[in-house]
């Protein structure tokens, strides 16, 4: 398509060439297709994790529930947590990053397209591997936090699946993180300085760095757990003199940055959606960016607030109480900046906007209940109760999931070329908002009334009945809202309104290209002169501080652009500005001789305009390499033969990958 | 929310953290009252600003968005104000942390070693030479110094109305101070996930007036009385030696795991000490009322009544259960 010349077949295997159909998805290295794969897979796991939640809420709808046995209940709450964290929120963020990151920075793909495919297949392998445990004797049942020494319990292989499955998932996260970091550092369009990047790109960068440092920490812990379970090592076994508190420290040293890994992408989404629908630039862009970095940095110094009851002593508890309180400051800065973004705008209450506003609103509650955890003496009361379950769902559902849905509604037309129905979308939002609060607000009350977490039943006569029933009704309300979303998708696929390149009158580069974008993204790589560059190609800022449309297809003249730049607060010599000195680095980019070439090219076919752009060719090897990993995992549990087979797959895949050129030459 | 939960019920919510009934729970609750009030105020202001902004600036024909990028002074203010509020919270928090961590001193302080096991609680009154299970008896009006010891996996000792939580970490000893204002029974339970019967690992603190407590102590220090009737004597025999026709004949008996002071050969240390079993209101992690029918059902098949129970199904016959129940009920 884009390469215009059929790839020549060479090497040991014939190179895959399919551009459509089953094999094209299996062998694709196109970041947009991989993004869609990530999104669909994450959504599938969202349904699975949701069904697990519904089973849990069925069990807990009434006192002494008997829907589930204790063994099954423990597997379900463990897998619900693991699924929603590792196989829903993280990959759903990755889906959007994958699809949007190159488009937002004006690149043709990510830096390492085959590594990108590899990340996806490893992530999928990890998910299927973990879930296969249900069929092979029992899923992980020691909680997502897997505290030792309970996690050493040899009754089932569940926690072995946990240690191996999460290690595999971690490989996917690491590969993805490195890929995104390199892409953002090296592949921005000419003029796209760091401080002109969309906030979503910034948050992707920060999240990727968090992953890069946090995943190895849990990797070490999981590796040690694996050795304890499989080879009789004694990292966590108190009977052999180990201190199981080591696991808690390692786990939460990963676990708390992980919270920010899940929330920062959603914060990035909200920071794109609110300006677009308020028709205003983001309020305090530098503050939003740097508070994101500050949260990521401080996020490394709060882990022990998960362990206030572990007996670390008053000095450690006080120190972590203070750090936990003060991480609320940069978080608060973001919330005020979002309100400032809406302030004075002309707010269109579209579905993406509503989900973003819902995010801010719910996140205020989750943030405030988070601050209450820093009150150590009271945290000792509420820790491990439903109060914490309520808090974490306000952050990860009211926060991350609302933010992700905002992103899904916002970018859906870009990804699939058709709009989702606004009417159904607003109904979805309303139902989900009501269901969400009905489910999780009672959790706070239950916790304060003394209901601990991870209980497979609750007794009567503790005052828990009515709140549990409300929560269960709420959970099913959320489920209905998800069905409404799926209906919306079905309607959109069948007869959705064509989106056009820029249905929202948006601000960032991804809206310059067609919907869906061609394989090579942009016919000509745009040259960036502003933050929100696309907006300033469409509008100038009048001296009165309002926007005026630039007519007749022309970009603003240099003087007008200058005036709008002056209106922004960015100092011309900010430290990040130095990055713009580098050469334009995208091979095949046409120099922007006239702005008309950069206009959306909805009418022109990609073949005509994209002639001669070289894109990496599809490859079997990322899939083969990734598929070796779960086989190795099974090998550790069941048989050295499988271990060898998995190693062969991995090695053949890796060597094939190394020996094939990134793109077949014409 | 707190007020609502409070007004809803006071006696119907025996595990509520909002109704402290001891000095240490009250200190935590005092911090909560401050924090909750501030949180509600912040919530109203910030949520109000958000909703106001959305409503006030919603799109209407003719409305143009003002194009501004920020406001440095405002941004500095909204960084500093939350920081000051948090500083205001930090000071009493840190003060209370150190206050609660202080070890109670004095000759009359009662030291109890608490051990969490799958799935019950073992209490050792180290100075009084009493070992009991699940129901912790304390005198009112004085601090009780608990040293929390690990055994198998993590647990967490929690009596919400009397204050605080302390995780049980194997290989470590931590401490917690409790105090009850008034006599009564205070419910608690294990709060750290510990396996199949995590939900069945309850506990009770029974607070007595100091005089009644002394009576309880002297009762507990007595060894168990010898069985008075023949059925109970048969039970005692079975307890120590097992039975020829039981599955575990020649192997473990009750006494392999359970101790009874005053019964020769009953010195097991794996399960609860049963010396004054009949004086307890509940058994098996404080989940069953201590009565004949529950006891019979328990002995017939412990793991069925309490999933994951370390006490195996001993395949006892009805006659053996009759004898054991008769004996256990003599252990006043």
pLDDT tens digits for range A102-143 = 999 999 999 999 999 999 999 999 999 999 999 998 999 999
Using alpha carbons, select from A213, A81, A206, A210 the residue that is nearest to residue A139.
A81
Average pLDDT of chain B is 91
Phi-psi region of B286 (alpha: psi -120 to 50; beta: other; left: phi over 0): left
CB contact under 8 A, A245 and B18: no
Closest residue on chain B to A330 (Cα) = B79
In a domain, B112, yes or no: yes
Average pLDDT over residues A163-181: 97
The alpha carbons of chain B give a radius of gyration, in whole angstroms, of 27
Q: For residues B203 and B263, state if they share a domain.
A: no
Q: Name the band, by pLDDT with cuts 50, 70 and 90, for residue A175.
A: very high
DSSP H or E segment with residue A548: strand A547-549
In a domain, B225, yes or no: no
Predicted TM-score (pTM) above 0.95: no
Q: For residues B151 and B276, state if they share a domain.
A: no
- The confidence score (pLDDT) of residue A319 equals 96
Contacts of B72 in chain A (CB under 8 A): 569
Contacts of A285 in chain B (CB under 8 A): 69-70
Contacts of B50 in chain A (CB under 8 A): 338-339, 342, 357, 360-361, 364
CATH number of the domain where residue B159 is located: 2.60.40.420
Q: Within the 406-445 window of chain A, which residues sit less than 8 Å (CB to CB) from chain B?
A: 441, 444-445
| Three-class DSSP category at A547 | strand
In a domain, B74, yes or no: no
Min Cα distance A504 → chain B (Å) is 14
In a domain, B92, yes or no: no
Q: For residues B136 and B270, state if they share a domain.
A: no
Query: Residue B127's CB: how many other CB atoms inside 10 A?
Result: 9
Distances (CA, A) of A457 to A62, A69, A475, B196: 8, 10, 17, 12
Contacts of B98 in chain A (CB under 8 A): 314, 318
Query: A536: Cβ–Cβ under 8 A, 6 or more apart, which residues?
Result: A529, A530, A556, A561, A564
CB contact under 8 A, A329 and B82: yes
Q: Which of A244, A317, A339 sits opposite B97 (nearest CB)?
A: A317
Q: Are strands B144-149 and B110-117 parallel, antiparallel or unpaired?
A: parallel
In a domain, B82, yes or no: no
Q: For residues B36 and B158, state if they share a domain.
A: yes
DSSP H or E segment with residue A540: strand A539-541
Give the span between the Cα atoms of A445 and B39, in whole angstroms.
Answer: 15
Mutual angle of helices A113-135 and A621-637, in 10-degree steps: 30
Q: Which of B219, B239, B264 marks a domain boundary?
A: B219
Six token digits for residue A482 = 């998800």
For residues A252 and B251, which has the higher predicted lDDT (pLDDT)? A252
pLDDT at residue B330 tops 50: yes
Compute CA A656 distance to the chain's CA centroid, rounded to the nearest angstrom: 30
Q: For residues B211 and B264, state if they share a domain.
A: no
Give the span between the Cα atoms of A240 and A220, in whole angstroms.
Answer: 20
Q: Which of B192, B219, B246 marks a domain boundary?
A: B219
Min Cα distance A282 → chain B (Å) is 6
- Per the CB < 8 A criterion, the answer to whether A251 and A194 are in contact is no
Q: Which of A153, A346, A546 sits opposite B57 (nearest CB)?
A: A346
According to CATH, what is the number of the domain A30-495? 1.20.210.10
The secondary structure of A459-499 as a DSSP string is: -SSSS-HHHHHHHHHHHHHHHHHHHHHHHHHHHHHHHPPB-
pLDDT at residue A5 tops 80: no
Residues A358-417: pLDDT tens digits? 999 999 999 999 999 999 999 999 999 999 999 999 999 999 999 999 999 999 999 999
State which residues form the domain around B250: 230-328
Domain coordinates in residue numbering, chain A: 30-495, 509-572+591-609, 621-659
| Three-class DSSP category at A551 | coil
CB contact under 8 A, A452 and B190: yes
Contacts of A345 in chain B (CB under 8 A): 57, 65-66
- The confidence score (pLDDT) of residue B189 equals 95
Query: A370: Cβ–Cβ under 8 A, 6 or more apart, which residues?
Result: A324, A328, A391, A395
Give the span between the Cα atoms of A117 and A97, in whole angstroms.
Answer: 14
User: How many domains does chain B fold into?
Assistant: 2
Using alpha carbons, select from A287, A359, A364, A399 the residue that is nearest to residue B80.
A287
Using alpha carbons, select from A233, A264, A262 the residue that is nearest to residue A392.
A262
In a domain, B224, yes or no: no
Q: Within the 114-143 window of chain A, which residues sit less than 8 Å (CB to CB) from chain B?
A: 142-143
In a domain, B61, yes or no: yes
Query: B19: Cβ–Cβ under 8 A, 6 or more apart, which residues?
Result: B6, B10, B13, B161
CB contact under 8 A, A448 and B17: yes
Using alpha carbons, select from A593, A587, A589, A581 the residue that is nearest to residue A525.
A589
Average pLDDT of chain A is 89
Mutual angle of helices A621-637 and A640-659, in 10-degree steps: 160
In a domain, B83, yes or no: no
Query: Residue A183's CB: how many other CB atoms inside 10 A?
Result: 25
Give the span between the Cα atoms of A549 and A381, in whole angstroms.
Answer: 58
Q: Name the band, by pLDDT with cuts 50, 70 and 90, for residue A555.
A: very low
Using alpha carbons, select from B177, B173, B153, B154 the residue that is nearest to residue B165.
B177
Q: For residues B182 and B46, state if they share a domain.
A: yes
Percent of chain B with pLDDT over 70: 94
Residues A290-304: pLDDT tens digits? 999 999 999 999 999
Q: Can you give the three-state secondary structure of chain B, one letter per residue?
A: CHHHHHHHCCCCCCCCCCCCCCHHHHHHHHHHHHHHHHHHHHHHHHHHHHHHHHHHCECCCCCCCCCCCCCHHHHHHHHHHHHHHHHHHHHHHHHHHHHHHCCCCCCCCEEEEEEEECCEEEEEECCCCEEEECEEEEECCCCEEEEEECCCCCEEEECCCCCCEEEECCCCEEEEEECCCCCEEEEEECCCCCCCCHHHCEEEEEEECHHHHHHHHHHHHCCCCCCCCHHHHHHHHHHHHCCCCCCCCCCCCHHHHCECCCCCCCECCCCCCCCCHHHCCEECCCCEECCHHHHHHHHHCHHHHCCCCCCCCCCCCHHHHHHHHHHHCCCC
Query: Residue B48's CB: how many other CB atoms inside 10 A?
Result: 10
Residues B158-208: pLDDT tens digits? 999 998 799 999 999 999 999 999 999 999 999 999 999 999 999 999 999
Complex prediction ipTM: 0.94
Q: Which residue do the tokens 């009644």 mark?
A: B212
- The confidence score (pLDDT) of residue B251 equals 64
CB contact under 8 A, A332 and B164: no
Contacts of A361 in chain B (CB under 8 A): 47, 50-51
Report the residue of B193, B282, B307 to disrupt the A interface, i.e. the one with the largest count of A CBs within 10 Å.
B193
- The confidence score (pLDDT) of residue B11 equals 61
Report the residue of B76, B85, B160, B165 to disrupt the A interface, i.e. the one with the largest count of A CBs within 10 Å.
B165
| Three-class DSSP category at A129 | helix
Query: B278: Cβ–Cβ under 8 A, 6 or more apart, which residues?
Result: B290, B328, B329, B330, B331, B332
Q: For residues B250 and B214, state if they share a domain.
A: no
CB contact under 8 A, B54 and A150: no
Average pLDDT over residues A82-99: 97
Q: For residues B205 and B269, state if they share a domain.
A: no
Give the span between the Cα atoms of A237 and A247, in whole angstroms.
Answer: 10
Q: Are strands B135-139 and B202-208 parallel, antiparallel or unpaired?
A: parallel
Q: For residues B23 and B144, state if they share a domain.
A: yes
Q: For residues B39 and B117, state if they share a domain.
A: yes
pLDDT at residue B215 tops 50: yes
- The confidence score (pLDDT) of residue B2 equals 45
pLDDT at residue A220 tops 60: yes
Residues A31-52: pLDDT tens digits? 999 999 999 999 999 999 999 9
**Residue A281 near chain B (CB below 8 Å):** yes
Q: Within the 299-338 window of chain A, which residues sit less than 8 Å (CB to CB) from chain B?
A: 307, 309-311, 313-314, 317-318, 321-322, 325-326, 328-329, 332-333, 335-338
Q: Which of B164, B186, B219 marks a domain boundary?
A: B219
Q: For residues B157 and B251, state if they share a domain.
A: no
Distances (CA, A) of B230 to A40, B317, B319: 72, 18, 13
Min Cα distance B203 → chain A (Å) is 13
- Per the CB < 8 A criterion, the answer to whether A287 and B70 are in contact is yes
| Three-class DSSP category at A196 | helix
DSSP H or E segment with residue A539: strand A539-541
Query: Residue B167's CB: how many other CB atoms inside 10 A?
Result: 29
- The confidence score (pLDDT) of residue B63 equals 85
**Residue A244 near chain B (CB below 8 Å):** yes
Backbone angles phi, psi at A436, to 5 degrees: -60, -50
């Amino acid at each position: 398509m884009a390469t215009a010349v059929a790839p020549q077949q060479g090497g040991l295997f014939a190179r895959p060439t399919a551009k459509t159909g089953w094999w094209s998805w299996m062998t694709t290295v196109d970041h947009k297709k991989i993004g869609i794969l990530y999104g669909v897979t994450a959504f599938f796991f969202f349904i699975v994790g949701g069904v697990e939640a519904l089973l849990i809420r069925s069990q807990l709808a009434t006192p002494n529930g008997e829907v589930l046995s204790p063994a099954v209940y423990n597997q379900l709450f463990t897998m619900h947590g693991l699924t929603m964290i590792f196989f829903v929120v993280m990959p759903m963020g990755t889906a959007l990053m994958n699809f949007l990151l190159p488009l937002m920075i004006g690149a043709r793909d990510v830096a390492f397209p085959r590594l990108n495919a590899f990340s996806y297949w490893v992530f999928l392998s990890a998910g299927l591997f973990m879930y296969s445990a249900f069929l092979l004797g029992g899923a992980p049942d020691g909680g997502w936090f897997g505290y030792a020494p309970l996690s050493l319990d040899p009754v089932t292989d569940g926690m072995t699946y946990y240690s191996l499955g999460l290690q595999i998932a971690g490989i996917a996260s690491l590969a993805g993180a490195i890929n995104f970091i390199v892409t953002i550092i090296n592949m921005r369009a000419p003029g796209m300085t760091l401080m002109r990047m969309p906030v979503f790109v910034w948050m992707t960068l920060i999240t990727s760095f968090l992953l890069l440092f946090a995943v190895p920490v849990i990797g070490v812990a999981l590796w040690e757990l694996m050795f304890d379970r499989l080879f009789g090592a004694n990292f966590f076994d108190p009977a052999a003199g180990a201190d199981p508190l080591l696991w808690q420290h390692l786990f939460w040293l990963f676990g708390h940055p992980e919270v920010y890994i899940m929330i920062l992408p959603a914060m990035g989404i909200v920071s794109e959606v609110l300006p677009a629908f308020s028709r205003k630039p983001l309020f305090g862009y530098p503050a939003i960016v740097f508070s994101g970095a500050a949260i990521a940095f401080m996020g490394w110094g709060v882990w022990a607030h998960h362990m206030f009851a572990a007996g670390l002593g008053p000095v450690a508890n006080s120190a972590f109480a203070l750090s936990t309180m003060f991480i609320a400051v940069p978080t608060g800065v973001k919330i005020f900046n979002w309100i400032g973004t809406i302030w004075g705008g002309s707010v269109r209450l579209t579905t993406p906007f509503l989900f973003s506003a819902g995010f801010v609103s719910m996140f205020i509650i989750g943030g405030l209940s988070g601050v209450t955890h820093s009150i150590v003496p009271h945290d000792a009361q509420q820790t491990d109760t439903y109060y914490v379950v309520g808090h974490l769902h306000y952050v990860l559902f009211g926060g991350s999931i609302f933010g992700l849905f905002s992103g899904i509604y916002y970018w859906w037309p870009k990804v699939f070329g058709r709009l989702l129905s606004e009417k159904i979308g607003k109904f979805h939002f309303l139902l989900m908002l009501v269901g969400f609060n009905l489910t999780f607000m009672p959790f706070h009350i239950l916790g304060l009334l003394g209901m601990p977490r991870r209980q497979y039943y609750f007794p009567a006569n503790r005052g828990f009945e009515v709140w549990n029933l409300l929560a269960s009704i709420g959970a099913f309300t959320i489920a209905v809202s998800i069905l409404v979303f799926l209906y919306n998708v079905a309607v959109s696929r069948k007869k959705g309104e064509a989106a056009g390149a820029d249905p929202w009158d948006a601000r960032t580069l991804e809206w310059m290209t067609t919907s869906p974008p061609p394989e090579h993204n942009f016919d000509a790589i745009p040259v960036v002169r502003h933050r929100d560059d696309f907006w300033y190609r469409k509008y100038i800022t009048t001296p009165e501080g309002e926007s005026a449309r630039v007519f007749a297809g022309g970009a603003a003249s240099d003087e007008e652009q200058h005036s709008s730049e002056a209106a922004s607060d960015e100092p011309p010599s900010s430290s990040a500005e130095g990055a713009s000195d580098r050469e334009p680095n995208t091979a095949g980019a046409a120099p922007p001789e006239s702005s008309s070439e950069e206009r959306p090219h909805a009418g022109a076919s990609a073949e005509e305009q994209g002639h001669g752009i070289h894109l990496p060719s599809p490859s079997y090897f990322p899939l083969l390499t990734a598929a070796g990993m779960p086989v190795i995992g099974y090998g550790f549990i069941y048989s050295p033969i499988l271990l060898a087979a998995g190693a062969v797959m991995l090695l053949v895949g890796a060597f094939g990958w190394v020996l094939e050129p990134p793109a077949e030459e014409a | 929310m707190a007020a609502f939960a409070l007004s809803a019920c006071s006696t119907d919510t025996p595990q509520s953290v909002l109704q402290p009934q001891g000095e240490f729970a009250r200190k935590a609750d005092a911090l909560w009252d401050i924090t909750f009030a501030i949180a509600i105020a912040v919530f109203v202001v910030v949520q109000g600003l958000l909703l106001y902004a959305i409503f006030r600036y919603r799109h209407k024909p003719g409305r143009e968005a003002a194009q501004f990028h920020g406001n440095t002074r405002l941004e500095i203010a909204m960084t500093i104000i939350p920081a000051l509020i948090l500083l205001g919270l930090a000071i009493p928090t840190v003060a209370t942390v150190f206050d609660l961590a202080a070890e109670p001193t004095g000759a009359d302080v009662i030291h109890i070693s608490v051990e969490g096991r799958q799935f019950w609680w073992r209490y050792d009154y180290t100075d009084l030479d009493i070992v009991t299970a699940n129901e912790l008896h304390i005198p009112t009006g004085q601090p009780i110094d608990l040293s929390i010891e690990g055994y198998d996996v993590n647990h967490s000792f929690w009596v919400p109305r009397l204050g605080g939580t302390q995780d049980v970490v194997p290989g470590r000893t931590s401490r917690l101070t409790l105090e009850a204002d008034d006599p009564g029974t205070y419910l608690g339970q294990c709060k750290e996930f510990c396996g199949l019967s995590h939900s069945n690992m309850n506990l009770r603190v029974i607070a007595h007036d100091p005089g009644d407590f002394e009576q309880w102590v002297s009762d507990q220090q007595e060894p168990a009385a010898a069985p008075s009737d023949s059925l109970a004597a048969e039970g005692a025999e079975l307890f120590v030696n097992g039975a020829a026709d039981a599955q575990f004949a020649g192997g473990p008996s009750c006494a392999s795991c359970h101790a009874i002071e005053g019964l020769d050969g009953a010195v097991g240390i794996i399960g609860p000490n049963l010396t004054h079993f009949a004086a307890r209101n509940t058994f098996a992690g404080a989940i069953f009322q201590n009565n004949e029918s529950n006891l019979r059902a328990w002995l017939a098949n412990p793991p069925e009544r309490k999933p994951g129970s370390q006490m195996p199904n001993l395949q006892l016959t009805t006659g053996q259960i009759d004898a054991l129940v008769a004996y256990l009920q003599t252990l006043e």
